[in-house]
């Protein structure tokens, strides 16, 4: 597994070694020893999976302290545009984000540290996203930033009329109307 740093400290892309032959391919998607060597010790305690259709946008979500979560995210089927937004008040990159295409073809993963909001939009007809987290979900600690915040100006790479949102995600605050707990 190769670690590729992004412009935001702590936020990294992981590119697996893909072994292919006439039968298909093989990757090692998770190896605690390798990841601890690359990222420092992480204790992932829960695996989550979401299934979504084209145009579904989930996010930008986070868990407030003391239930904050680091995530190791990968797309098992299909293609998604993945977004990670830095919400760490003391960070030089507060309010900045990265976008990354995750797909079942490229098999890349993204490690998102605590203190980030995370979201994605499905670019293929259907997608399955799988991610490991290092803290349990707590409904009272959930929060988020609105997907179309004009100060962020995120290009979701899809016509806005095709976006499918939950009611809850449509009501999230902008970054300017948000007091970061991180």
Domain-located, residue 94 = yes
- Residue 167 CA to residue 30 CA, distance in Å, equals 34
Residue 39: pLDDT band (50, 70, 90) is: confident
What is the number of domains present in the chain?
1
In this prediction, residue 1 carries a pLDDT of: 83
> Domain limits at 136?
2-177
- Residue 139 CA to residue 157 CA, distance in Å, equals 30
Asked about 61 being catalytic, the answer comes back as yes
pLDDT at 38 over 90: no
Pairing assessment for the beta strands 142-144 and 57-63 based on DSSP bridges: antiparallel
CATH of the domain at 79: 2.60.120.10
Domain-located, residue 148 = yes
Contact present, 12 and 39 (Cβ < 8 Å): yes
Check 67, 131, 136, 137 and give the catalytic one. 131
Check 30, 61, 97, 136 and give the catalytic one. 61
Domain-located, residue 182 = no
**Whole-model pTM above 0.85?**
yes
- Among 27, 1, 23, CA closest to 12: 1
**Residue 108 to residues 77, 89, 104, 130, Cα–Cα distance (Å):** 12, 28, 8, 12
Domain-located, residue 143 = yes
Domain-located, residue 31 = yes
Domain-located, residue 124 = yes
- Residue 153 CA to residue 35 CA, distance in Å, equals 32
Residue 95: pLDDT band (50, 70, 90) is: very high
Q: What is the pLDDT of residues 128-155, one digit of tens each?
A: 999 999 999 999 999 999 999 999 999 9
Domain-located, residue 164 = yes
């Amino acid at each position: 597994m190769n670690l590729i740093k992004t412009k935001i400290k702590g936020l990294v892309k992981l590119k697996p070694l893909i072994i292919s032959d006439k039968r298909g391919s093989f990757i090692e998607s998770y190896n605690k020893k390798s990841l601890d060597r690359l990222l420092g010790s992480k204790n992932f305690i829960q695996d989550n999976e979401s299934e979504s259709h084209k145009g579904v946008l989930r996010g930008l979500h986070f868990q407030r302290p003391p239930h904050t979560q680091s995530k190791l995210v990968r797309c098992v089927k299909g293609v998604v545009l993945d977004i990670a937004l830095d919400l760490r008040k003391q960070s030089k990159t507060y309010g900045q984000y990265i976008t990354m295409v995750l797909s079942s073809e490229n098999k890349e993963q993204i490690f998102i540290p605590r203190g980030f909001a995370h979201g994605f939009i499905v670019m293929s007809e259907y997608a399955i996203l799988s991610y490991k987290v290092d803290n349990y979900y707590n409904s009272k600690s959930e929060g988020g930033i609105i997907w179309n915040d004009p100060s962020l100006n995120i290009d979701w790479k899809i016509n806005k009329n095709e976006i499918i949102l939950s009611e809850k995600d449509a009501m999230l605050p902008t970054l300017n109307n948000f007091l970061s707990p991180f």
